[in-house]
Amino acid sequence: MQPRILDGKALAGDLRERIKSAVRTMSAEGLVPGLATVLVGNNPASVSYVRSKHRTSEEVGIRTIDVTLPEECSAEQLSDAVAELNERSDVHGILIQQPLPAHLDAEVHVAAVAPAKDVDGFHPENLGRLMRGRRCMVPCTPLGVVHMLAAGGKSTRGANVVIVGRSMLVGKPLASLLMQKNDTGNATVTVCHSATRDLPEHTRNADIVVAAIGVPGYVTADMVQEGAVVIDVGINRVDDSSRRRGYRIVGDVDYENVAPKTSAITPVPGGVGPMTVVMLMYNTVQAARGAYSQDPLTGEQQ
């Protein structure tokens, strides 16, 4: 079987162009979407992620506001910075880059972001609205997965979906999205995790398997039925002395052996990863237009 490669890089490029067009129209009408990033400390990975987000924002015409605080900043200082961004009319989206230093409680500070500006989609109000099937800010990676399935022509209606991983970043919000009563939902969803008994028995019965457990090569060929769709959310570094950097990036799926059994599969890198960043842009435009009222790309009322 020759699987279809679900190319997240190409799809993200297409979405970037659509978002750029939407931003151009909005800007001509006097509304320039603004994204503020809040970085605490100088963790190299976090600094790199923020730069990447700024670069993509600039590509599509979104104004970026960079707030950088010292590693030792107090909870009050971070709260004050977030409160100021909540009040700014030129800031439509706020992202607190994680992880935060150990002395800061991420949940407290994420909950301090105005729900309508929570472009990460992790504010309790947004997660509650998601569970209720209401219009809201949706976490970027799950939203990217749903877009990939739809763009790849993989219907979720009535499908048996198994998600391996129960994190708030991916597993739980994705399960809620796929259960929604709409064209990109209507799936029967099973969420598996480290305490699941006989995990392969669940995954072998799945039409769609989503791997989001954070373990390199965790999903193997014997865990997937012939013709399944496999979405690999994992991004893991493994040592590789043959590479200049001394490592390579792999997913949670044993791609080489799983791919021949599938009807469609995402690569790593180049699969879900590029979609996460472009969904952040999507959410920022959504926030500028009115998150709970209309679709940012079509302008249709919700």
* Of 85, 117, 149, the domain-final residue: 117
pLDDT class of 291 with cuts at 50, 70, 90:
low
Residue 86 included in any domain: yes
Residue 300 included in any domain: no
pLDDT digits (tens, 9 = 90+) for 13-32: 999 999 999 999 999 999 99
pLDDT class of 240 with cuts at 50, 70, 90:
confident
The residues annotated as belonging to the active site are 53, 97, 120
Structure tokens at 178: 């796929």
pLDDT digits (tens, 9 = 90+) for 139-196: 999 999 999 999 999 999 999 999 999 999 999 999 999 999 999 999 999 999 989 9
Q: How far is CA 220 from the centre of its chain?
A: 24
Task: Supply angle C-alpha 284, 288, 294, rounded to 5.
Answer: 100
* The residue type at 224: V
* The residue type at 281: M
Task: Supply angle C-alpha 168, 279, 151, rounded to 5.
Answer: 105
Structure tokens at 84: 């100021």
pLDDT over 50 at 73, yes or no: yes
Instruction: Indicate if 41 and 165 belong to the same structural domain.
Output: no
Q: Which domain holds residue 160?
A: 140-272
Give strand pairing partners of 247.
Answer: 239
Residue 290 included in any domain: no
Q: Note the residue count of the chain.
A: 302
Virtual CA dihedral for 198, 200, 205, 206, nearest 10 degrees? 120
> Which CATH number belongs to the domain containing residue 199 in this structure?
3.40.50.720
User: How many folded domains does the chain comprise?
Assistant: 2
Predicted TM-score (pTM) of the model is 0.92
pLDDT over 60 at 292, yes or no: no
Between 291 and 131, where is the model more confident? 131
* The residue type at 76: E
pLDDT class of 298 with cuts at 50, 70, 90:
very low
